Structure 1
């Protein structure tokens, strides 16, 4: 679903890495701040697996506390660009988009894509916007995959990299794709993924909402809502509302397409390609990307590969959501890192 705050950019005859093509590819994107005369003050921001390009501009923006005048990504200094990745469901070309060849949604017939495809499409958007070298690429969660991918695929395009709550290779193999497919296959309205003509308020959408609630619990959102609202009942109600609201906008097939791309992702083996200084950020309570498991081997590998890498660990009870909920605990490090480039 295209957000009212987003703009569209169209790429004709976009060839995909695995052999197929999309004609056209559309990217939905948002910008904050102003591109300078030298066209070198842009920050490319990459969103998470199930998120969207609305990162700032109001309190609905998922990182609004980090983007704006005087904030870590200072819009009086930087031009921040956030695009919805291809394969997603917030305006960019994905499985719910209409296939020009059939006049119906691609659905399960959407071609397999890779993180390199996503990065290449973003690069064409940057060219369209007149952006030269980026001040930085910053990405959260799945967006951190893209941040690492940028670093190894186009190492001269940026002066800094900030992957947040993420890793430089996939967490989970093909079985993680099968789990999603099996989950939705239980729904009578799934129809092999061609579910778009089904009842909007039930079936697949209801299962999406249920899955979303469990995902948010795993991210630490329930704890954050409890602290904000003060009671289990209010927190549960708010969590379930978030699940319903999101499921009305997202696409189950996008979960599969993006997960397939994540399984193929590997920026570990060619880490030596990275030229830009890198700030790696993890949360000490994140179950998705646990700092205790990932920080030491990742930093050791990056430095052994010749990467100028620094590390920040957020001490927070909010798990995967720590960079958002406890933004003030790492915003100074982010601001200082960016200003030094």
Structure 2
């Protein structure tokens, strides 16, 4: 069940203060009396908490199959929290929210934010929920950056982090300026006043369809749906739902936060247990020997894994069965983690064809 928390005013890294910040989130499981059994699941660039509740493949794949009794995200053991990022469009304060000073949507006036701001809002939410300690922070893509930021900003609160189909810095070309330029080409943009003209649904729909194809969802459907018209309909359904809810300026704001993210110089500060997974066919975060070498500087137990899969950036969701044991290692009690796992030697999974959860 989607929930909303009001965490009050929040001062950004820039010094600007966002008044009356609200956070959309979901929880699963029960928080322990000592507040120490929580796991924070962090979502990707254009998704939200539905990654744990929708059994449907989207940009980074649904993690719903990983959630439940006896699963990696074990609701008998853990209190699972997934909150919408600051600046996003699924229940948390962002460009589509009302600016109390003007009574209008923030739109292009929404202030610039950082990954530290996103994590700071999550931290405030968790404290309000009674969480005192995190067994882990984990997520795919943009969610992996949040996990890394948590390990740096709150090292005493986090036991482990999971970084899947992600990297230590942003990919080339991702910036607020590039995202803004892309939207400015649309006739629905209206110099950033699109809220006054009914939004940008058609533009967002076409963008989403292009993204899902580039991430490999169309290829997946080709393997499971014979009729081309049914494949097209299956591709359009999640794209239409997303386009009806997402605000274009959220992409600009979050891209701006990402363009300043780079933890390579601070990698030696990370002491949390680390699971770092890349996919052989991921065009956004491909396997990188330099990244693997940098990870040797972290101070905790770690695993660096290369997943051989045709599903590229979506593999963190589609290939959930092949990742579940690794996530269970990440979430194991400290006493269960063998010292042999502290070496970041790359491990390659065998490729296999799997059923999908659509």
TM-score bracket relative to the smaller structure: over 0.9
Per the alignment, residue 186 of structure 1 pairs with: 185
Per-residue Cα deviation, 1:14-43 (whole angstroms, up to 9, x for no partner):
100012110011110100111112221110
Per the alignment, residue 144 of structure 2 pairs with: 144
Per the alignment, residue 40 of structure 2 pairs with: 44
Per the alignment, residue 92 of structure 1 pairs with: 92
SS in 2 for 1:122: helix
Residues 159 and 305 of structure 1: CA distance in aligned 2, closer, same or farther (over 3 Å): closer
Decide which moves more: 15-24 or 308-317: 308-317
Decide which moves more: 228-237 or 205-214: 228-237
Report whether the alignment pairs 1:54 with 2:80.
no
Shift of 1:305: 4.2
Separation (CA, whole Å) in 2 of partners of 1:289 and 1:178: 21
Per the alignment, residue 161 of structure 2 pairs with: 161
SS in 1 for 2:108: helix
**Unaligned segments of structure 2, at least 5 residues:** 335-358
Aligned with 1:318 (options 288, 311, 314): 311
Decide which moves more: 304-313 or 152-161: 304-313
Q: How does 1:71-110 map to 2 (within 5 A)?
A: 71-110=71-110
Decide which moves more: 103-112 or 46-55: 46-55
SS in 2 for 1:135: strand
Per the alignment, residue 323 of structure 2 pairs with: 330
Report whether the alignment pairs 1:171 with 2:164.
no
CA contact (8 A) 1:224 1:325 kept: no
Per the alignment, residue 123 of structure 1 pairs with: 123
Q: How does 1:205-216 map to 2 (within 5 A)?
A: 205-216=201-212
Decide which moves more: 218-227 or 24-33: 218-227
Shift of 1:307: 4.3
Residues 118 and 222 of structure 1: CA distance in aligned 2, closer, same or farther (over 3 Å): same
Per the alignment, residue 9 of structure 2 pairs with: 13
Shift of 1:108: 0.2
CA contact (8 A) 1:108 1:192 kept: no
Per the alignment, residue 32 of structure 1 pairs with: 28
Q: Could you state the TM-score of these two structures normalised by the residue count of structure 2?
A: 0.88
Per the alignment, residue 66 of structure 2 pairs with: 66
Decide which moves more: 299-308 or 7-16: 299-308
Residues 75 and 314 of structure 1: CA distance in aligned 2, closer, same or farther (over 3 Å): same
Separation (CA, whole Å) in 2 of partners of 1:94 and 1:6: 17
CA contact (8 A) 2:44 2:143 kept: yes
Separation (CA, whole Å) in 2 of partners of 1:225 and 1:197: 37
Report whether the alignment pairs 1:218 with 2:203.
no
Shift of 1:207: 0.7
Q: Could you state the TM-score of these two structures normalised by the residue count of structure 1?
A: 0.92
CA contact (8 A) 2:160 2:273 kept: yes
Residues 47 and 58 of structure 1: CA distance in aligned 2, closer, same or farther (over 3 Å): closer
Shift of 1:112: 0.2
Per the alignment, residue 254 of structure 1 pairs with: 250
Shift of 1:57: 4.5
Shift of 1:68: 0.8
Runs of 4+ in 1 over 4 A off after TM superposition: none
Per the alignment, residue 339 of structure 2 pairs with: none
Residues 283 and 13 of structure 1: CA distance in aligned 2, closer, same or farther (over 3 Å): same
Residues 22 and 282 of structure 1: CA distance in aligned 2, closer, same or farther (over 3 Å): same
Shift of 1:234: 2.3
Per the alignment, residue 287 of structure 1 pairs with: 283
Number of residue-to-residue matches in the alignment: 330
| RMSD (Å), alpha carbons | 1.7
Decide which moves more: 38-47 or 86-95: 38-47
CA contact (8 A) 1:312 1:330 kept: no
SS in 2 for 1:80: strand
Separation (CA, whole Å) in 1 of partners of 2:126 and 2:282: 32
